[in-house]
A and B are shown apart, each in its own frame.
Chain A
């Protein structure tokens, strides 16, 4: 079974500062993918970044980067130069990678990030 743990229920960060959202995971699958999603108050889940378990480099997407430490089973999201629009719920998720199509995503409980002007 897969499990995602997000230990920070809420965070307050000053605008323009960098922020790290923690995520640890547990799985026995050798091949898996890790995701971060942002959910604003509208409800839509917005894909931010992806890291494959065999990827050698940490994933980056604009201001988002994923600090992937496979041995420690952690996949922290780093947001650089935070903006007011970054205020939202952030979910870490993972899924097994198989040849049979899209396995289900297992989500963490989320971190509510609030950016302070």
Chain B
């Protein structure tokens, strides 16, 4: 069973640009959530999607947005990049109603903003 796949794995952007990251969940998983990991702030929740609907959202500015497609694949977009957006962006998938809430994470997309 294939795991969570995130693309691209590494990317470099400059301030003011925008970036789109992609996440393909495990087959059959309908929930996809996104997390930002930085040395200073640690792991912080961005948002969670289920059946193409955003169900939960963290405390990030509107520059951070996402969406989910009918095949459960998800994308997140960051517009007008700032230096502080440099981070590892992790995507996780899970099955709805799985009480253990086991989240399966991808290897992340490491974004560097210059």
Contact = CB atoms under 8 A, between A and B. Distances in A.
Interface of A: 33, 35, 37, 42-47, 50, 52, 91, 93, 95, 97, 100-110
B106 interface: yes
A19 to B, nearest CB: 21
B105 A100 contact: no
Interface residues of B, number: 29
Contacts of B25: none
Given A102-B48, A104-B45, A109-B42, A45 B90 contact: yes
B45 A102 contact: no
B101 A97 contact: yes
Contacts, number: 75
A34 to B, nearest CB: 10
- Closest 10 pairs between A and B when the two form their complex, measured CB to CB: A45-B105, A104-B45, A107-B43, A43-B108, A44-B107, A50-B100, A102-B31, A43-B107, A109-B42, A33-B101
B11 interface: no
Interface string B65-108: 00000000000000000000000101010101101111111111
